[in-house]
Structures are given as C-alpha cells and as structure tokens.
Amino acid sequence: MKGKLYVCATPIGNMEDVSYRLVRILGEVDLVAAEDTRRTRKLLTHYGVQARLSAYHDANERKQTSYLTDKMAKGTRVALVTDGGMPGVSDPGFRLIRACIDSGIDVEVIPGPSAVLTALVLSGLPTARFCFEGFLPKAATAKSRRLGDLADEERTMVFFESPRRASETLTAMREAWGNRFAAVARELTKMHEEVVRGTIDSVLEQLETPLLGEVVLVVSGREARPGGLDAAIAYAQDLERGGTRKSQAAATAAARFDAPRRSVYDGLLEQSPNPGDPG
C-alpha cells in the first residue's frame, strides 16, 4: 500500500470555514502534520475528529520532511496543515510537497480559506491580474530595494505584514511608488475583521495605533497612463539641465507627476549622455 500526502487548507480565523471534505480527510488519515499541534488540536476537537498529531514547522522542517516522506513511502497517509490557510504559502510545506513529488508519492490538495484571496477581493482593487509578494524584507535597505524592483508592476499586489511594521511599510511604499490606492485588511474572517481603504496617505491617517491582529496589505499596481512616466522623465531632464542633481531631479519630478521615483531615476540614467554619472 502506498501512502499519500493531503495538503489541507484550514480556517484563517472563523472555525466554520471548513468543508465536509476537509473534516473527512482529517478523520481518515493516519497522521496530521501540524505547524502548531495545540492550535490544530482545537480545530480537530471542534469537529469531533480523533487524529494522531506530529509537529511540522520552520524549526524542524528539514528533519521532519525526511521522516514523513519515509513514512508515506511505507503506506502512511499524512495530512499537512498550518495555523491557517494553505500550507506552503508563506508557511511550512513546500519542502515536503516537493519531496513527495520527487519520490513519486501522490499529493492531493484540499482547497479552502485563503487570506490572500480574501483580502484581494475585499480591497476593491482590480482582481483580474494580481501578484502575491508574501512578506517584505525587514531590513530597511533590503525592503527599499524590493519596493524599487516592484515600482513598475502593473498588477495589484498583495503582501503579508506584521501589525507592528504595517504603517512603516506603507510609508516606504508611498515614498517608492507615490500615493497609490491601498487597503489594509486585518483579522480576516474573525469577529473584529476590518478593512481600511483609500490612498496610502488616507489609509495611514485611518489606521489605529498600535495596530492589532494579523494584517494583509493590498496595493494597486502602477497605472498604465500614456505619457505619465515619460512626462516625469522629461521634466526631470529639464531640471537636471538647469543644474539640479540627478537624484533630486528624479525625486521632484516623481512627486509632481505622482510617478515612481525609481522609474524616473532609471529613465534619467538611460537617457543620460554619461550613464556612469551617479547624480
């Protein structure tokens, strides 16, 4: 008999957000690999499910992947769950899923709640095309670099963030991208669920201090406005020709045309007669 891995999405807050299929699978498997066994035990108890639990989290992921893969190769059926949402999405799970696929072990996904999609739809921002960026780097320099890389992204962007850093991150986004539209969703599906929408500046004014609960940030992509960025670059070139340093010219033009500062600066570099000039 060959084992199998069931990748199970679990509630992100509201315990009622489960499917009949999830409850059945959790009751049928031989072992439930859980990020936090205490939290998963509450879910199982709530639905009257008896199951054997094993811890599977960031600290033991490498060791447990080998152990669980070996068990499944011998016939054990394992359900993988995290504290909420889909395993492997900014949570432990990818390593085990990859190992099972490489070992020829069947993998089945039990779909369910998603903080990413819930926040995206609640934001009121375009949903036809979007990207999920997970957590931004904590270090200011690395965060600034990542935001710069995303300056020209036209899709709606979804981020996970700590409530302690949400305002700081929104401020960094405002500096890097201009005053775009954004939404801050917290405590999704829970009793105190809240979504704050508006421009980044207005959202920052509305946020409580300190911000509490799990947070998802949703931010609009760069608008594809014909001539918008080009006009900003042209204006920055005029400033530069008048003696303004390249970096300051880019910042001034970006603010005037509400364009990404990084994109304006890169445009100046591309059109500069001396690209090596740091400005």
Residue ranges making up the domain that contains 65: 4-113
Number of domains in the chain: 3
pLDDT in tens, 57-85: 999 999 999 999 999 999 999 999 999 99
Alpha-carbon distance of 236 to 257, in angstroms, equals 10
Instruction: Indicate whether 76 belongs to any domain.
Output: yes
- 142 & 180 share domain: yes
Instruction: Indicate whether 192 belongs to any domain.
Output: yes
Give every CB contact of residue 191 below 8 A, 6+ residues apart in sequence. none
- 136 & 103 share domain: no
Looking at the predicted structure, is the pLDDT value of residue 105 above 90? yes
pLDDT in tens, 13-65: 999 999 999 999 999 999 999 999 999 999 999 999 999 999 999 999 999 99
- 138 & 106 share domain: no
Global pTM value: 0.79
Q: What CATH number is associated with residue 149? A: 3.30.950.10
Q: What phi and psi values does residue 104 have, to the nearest 5 degrees? A: 80, 15
pLDDT in tens, 151-161: 989 999 999 99
- 128 & 142 share domain: yes
Final residue before a domain boundary, out of 113, 129, 157: 113
Average pLDDT on 1-10 reads 93
